[in-house]
């Protein structure tokens, strides 16, 4: 160690450049600095030896001429080093002798690779080879340095607050390099040209991001294609769309809610509702009472519900529907009950009480009225299709007798197939008997008027609706049941015709059939009577009898218009059925009832009862007309399916026109 005089100790140190060693410096050969010592760069002023100067040491009295003192700006030119005066008592080393000095703490010995060079080669002058490619000035920070009082030499003259340099604390030498703490900084504004370039780049990035978002929206849509659809989405387009869901969480007793939903489904099935209407009613009721994790499975006669909340034991309940009845008034009351539940006006206990009242409520029309209405319907429809007063009277008597017979067979628990076959046999036999006694009637017209009530009209419409709406198993079961009923009816007619032929009755001329014998006004009046009486037979609500009559009358006008245009015998009833289906939906939803209640009675007059009788006569009795009979049966089935499909199509076409009606797509109650 070299000795220093008191004058040297009392000499105030000059502030070095605080950014020395932090900014890359390009040095030329001959510059007296060592690149290996530039990173460490701190030695005290009293540790100078002859012929050696530290590259990173910037002490008091070694200011370079032309050196930029502002932080963050590179130095240019050749620095001129000022020679610091030697202490008075220092011994001079002999010429040519090498002075070995101990390495300062934090410095590597001479000859070893310095970390500050970062692996760069060093030249003979001791400088590092660095890149001369200019770099854009990064945003810099200005650090305010204040001279430290009471410190001598080294870096003590320019302390950075919070750092350990020049602190003079024991155990921490002044030359020791420690990672400085982050100083309190003040951001400076970069140049205007860099600001403009950065703004343009950011604007381009935003434009690219917007283009990518638009492309993603066009390619894959708003929701991922594999995302599971919520079961509440099944209510879209149904009379129970957008239910008012309770936000207080699911009910603690979920089993009671499931039982209520099952009872609703069973009641609707028994009264003749379709599978889609039953499913939407279940989903709407369970969602309204707070149950979200619900799965519904409807298979012909069974309804299965599964409630599987997260981290809880799932509940599965099932109900099988084993009986059917004509009660459109009850179906309308259940529809209104479901509407009140999803509107949030009923609790679960109140809903259960109302459902119990509906199931035990008497039908709007008494039994004797229903029996009389069946006879009146047959008499009116016979006059509508071309029969006279006697034919209408025979049809009235035969239909009343058939109604009493079916009631008796129902008490005896006889299956529907055999009771329907017996009814077809009785209707045909009575017509043949009266015709054999030379009564001026047409047996075909009488039979046609008698079997229209025996046709499974509502079941066929529901089967077609289920097949179109995605319930193939339920549709298959209903189609099978409807075709069995149709087959039983045809079998009863065929047996009666064969028995009549064996008894010696003359052959019938089923091809000579004229139109209605009454004026147009009387024909419309007969149709209105037939439609009103069929509403009584189906136990429709009293407030829907007149709308049903008007709907059927409008459909008949469309039917006559299609015949005038010449659409043909198969397309004409289908177009009329589409019109009736549309009008029935608009009227029924306005009256607070499902579409089926108005559409099925209003469309019944379109069914080809007379074509069925003609075809069965050709298949059973006329051996020469076997081919014509088979073609006639096929045509009759085609027309029946076209009518049922037309009703369903009209219901779907009327959905956009019924958005503003009560109970359908309520806009002010969004989930």
Contact (CB, 8 A) for 34 and 126 = yes
Q: Which of 139-148, 188-197, 322-331, 653-662 shows the highest mean pLDDT? A: 322-331
Contact (CB, 8 A) for 315 and 343 = no
pLDDT bucket at 113, cuts 50 / 70 / 90: very low
| Buried residues in 252-274 as b, exposed as e (16+ CB within 10 A) | eebeebbbbbbbbbbbbbbbbbb
- pLDDT, residue 570, reads 86
Contact (CB, 8 A) for 449 and 382 = yes
- pLDDT, residue 332, reads 94
457-475 pLDDT tens trace: 888 888 888 888 888 888 9
Residue 244 has pLDDT above 80, yes or no: no
- pLDDT, residue 198, reads 65
Residue 221 has pLDDT above 60, yes or no: no
The contacts of residue 129 (CB under 8 Å, 6+ apart) are 120, 121, 122, 123
Q: What integer is the mean pLDDT of 222-228?
A: 46
- pLDDT, residue 317, reads 92
DSSP conformation class of 307:
E
- pLDDT, residue 309, reads 84
DSSP conformation class of 38:
T
- pLDDT, residue 242, reads 66
- Comparing 126 with 557, the larger pLDDT belongs to 557
DSSP conformation class of 187:
B
- From CA 404, how far away is CA 371, in angstroms rounded? 8
Mean of the per-residue pLDDT values for the chain? 73
Q: What integer is the mean pLDDT of 393-404?
A: 94
Contact (CB, 8 A) for 38 and 21 = yes
- pLDDT, residue 460, reads 86
| Buried residues in 110-127 as b, exposed as e (16+ CB within 10 A) | eeeebebbeeeeeeeebb
- pLDDT, residue 327, reads 92
Q: Which of 17-31, 545-559, 609-623, 636-650 shows the highest mean pLDDT? A: 545-559
33-52 pLDDT tens trace: 444 444 333 333 334 433 34
Q: What integer is the mean pLDDT of 323-335?
A: 91
Residue 78 has pLDDT above 60, yes or no: no
Q: Which of 152-156, 287-291, 629-633 shows the highest mean pLDDT? A: 287-291
- pLDDT, residue 231, reads 63
Q: What integer is the mean pLDDT of 69-92?
A: 42
Total residue length of the chain: 671
516-563 pLDDT tens trace: 788 999 999 999 999 999 999 999 999 999 999 999 999 999 999 999
- pLDDT, residue 56, reads 39
The contacts of residue 303 (CB under 8 Å, 6+ apart) are 262, 265, 266, 269, 278, 282, 296, 297, 318, 319, 320, 321
Percentage of residues in the chain with pLDDT exceeding 70?
Answer: 62
- From CA 197, how far away is CA 206, in angstroms rounded? 14
- pLDDT, residue 5, reads 44
Rama region for 246: left / alpha / beta (φ>0; ψ in -120 to 50; rest): beta
Q: In what order do the strands lie in the sheet with 315-320?
A: 294-299, 302-307, 315-320
- Comparing 592 with 67, the larger pLDDT belongs to 592
Residue 3 has pLDDT above 80, yes or no: no
With vertex at residue 401, the alpha carbon angle to CA 396 and CA 402, rounded to the nearest 5 degrees, is 100
């Amino acid at each position: 160690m070299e000795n220093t005089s008191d004058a040297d100790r009392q000499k105030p140190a000059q502030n070095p450049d605080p950014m020395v060693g932090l900014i890359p410096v390009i040095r030329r050969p001959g510059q007296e600095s060592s690149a290996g010592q530039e990173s460490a760069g701190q030695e005290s002023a009293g540790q100078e030896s002859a012929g050696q100067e530290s590259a990173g040491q910037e002490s008091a009295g070694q200011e370079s001429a032309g050196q930029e003192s502002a932080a963050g700006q590179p130095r240019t030119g050749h620095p001129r080093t000022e020679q610091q005066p030697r202490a008075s008592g220092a011994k001079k080393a002999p010429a040519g002798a090498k002075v070995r000095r101990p390495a300062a703490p934090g410095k590597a010995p001479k000859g070893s690779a310095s970390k500050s060079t970062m692996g760069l080669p060093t030249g003979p002058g001791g400088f590092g080879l660095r890149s001369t490619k200019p770099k854009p000035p990064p945003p810099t920070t200005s650090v305010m340095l204040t001279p430290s009082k009471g410190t001598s030499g080294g870096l003590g003259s320019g302390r950075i607050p919070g750092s350990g340099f020049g602190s003079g604390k024991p155990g921490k030498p002044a030359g020791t390099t420690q990672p400085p703490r982050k100083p309190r900084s003040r951001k400076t504004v970069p140049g205007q040209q860099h600001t403009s370039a950065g703004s343009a780049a950011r604007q381009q990035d935003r434009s690219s991001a917007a283009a990518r978002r638009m492309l993603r929206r066009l390619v894959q849509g708003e929701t991922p294609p594999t995302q599971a659809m919520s079961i509440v989405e099944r209510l879209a387009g149904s009379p129970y769309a957008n239910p008012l869901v309770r936000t207080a969480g699911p009910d603690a007793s979920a089993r009671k809610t499931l039982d209520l939903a099952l009872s609703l489904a069973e009641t609707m099935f028994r009264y003749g509702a379709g599978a889609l209407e039953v499913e939407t009613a279940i989903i709407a009721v369970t969602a309204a009472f707070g149950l979200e994790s619900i799965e519904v499975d409807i298979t012909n006669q069974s309804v299965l519900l599964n409630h599987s909340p997260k981290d809880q034991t799932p509940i599965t309940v099932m109900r099988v529907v084993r009986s059917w009845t004509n009660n459109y008034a009850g179906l309308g009351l259940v529809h209104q009950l479901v509407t009140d539940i999803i509107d949030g006006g009923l609790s679960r206990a109140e809903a259960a009480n109302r459902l119990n009242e509906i199931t035990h409520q008497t039908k709007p029309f008494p039994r004797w009225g229903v029996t009389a209405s069946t006879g009146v319907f047959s008499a009116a429809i016979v006059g509508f299709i071309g029969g006279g007063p006697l034919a209408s009277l025979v049809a009235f008597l035969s239909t009343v007798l058939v109604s009493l017979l079916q009631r008796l067979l129902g008490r005896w628990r006889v299956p529907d197939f055999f009771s329907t076959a017996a009814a077809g046999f009785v209707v045909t036999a009575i017509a043949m008997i009266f015709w054999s006694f030379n009564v001026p009637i047409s047996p075909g017209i009488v039979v046609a008027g008698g079997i229209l009530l025996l046709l499974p009209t509502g079941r066929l419409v529901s089967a077609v609706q289920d097949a179109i709406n995605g319930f193939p198993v339920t549709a298959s079961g209903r189609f099978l049941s409807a075709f069995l009923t149709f087959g039983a009816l045809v079998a009863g007619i065929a047996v009666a015709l064969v028995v009549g032929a064996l008894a010696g009755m003359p052959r019938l001329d089923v091809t000579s059939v004229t139109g209605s014998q009454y004026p147009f006004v009387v024909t419309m009046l007969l149709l209105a009577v037939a439609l009103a009486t069929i509403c009584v037979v189906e136990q429709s609500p009293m407030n829907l009898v007149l709308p049903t009559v008007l709907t059927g009358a409008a459909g008949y006008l469309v039917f006559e218009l299609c015949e005038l245009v010449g659409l043909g015998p198969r397309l004409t009833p289908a177009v009329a059925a589409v019109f009736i289906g549309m009008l029935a939906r608009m009227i029924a939803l306005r009256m607070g009832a499902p579409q089926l209640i108005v559409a099925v009675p209003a469309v019944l007059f379109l069914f080809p009862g007379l074509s069925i009788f003609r075809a069965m006569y050709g298949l059973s009795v006329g051996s020469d007309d076997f081919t014509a009979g088979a073609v006639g049966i096929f045509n009759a089935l085609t027309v029946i399916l076209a009518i049922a499909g037309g009703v369903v199509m009209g219901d779907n076409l009327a959905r956009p026109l019924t958005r503003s009606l009560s109970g359908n797509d309520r806009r002010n109650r969004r989930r």
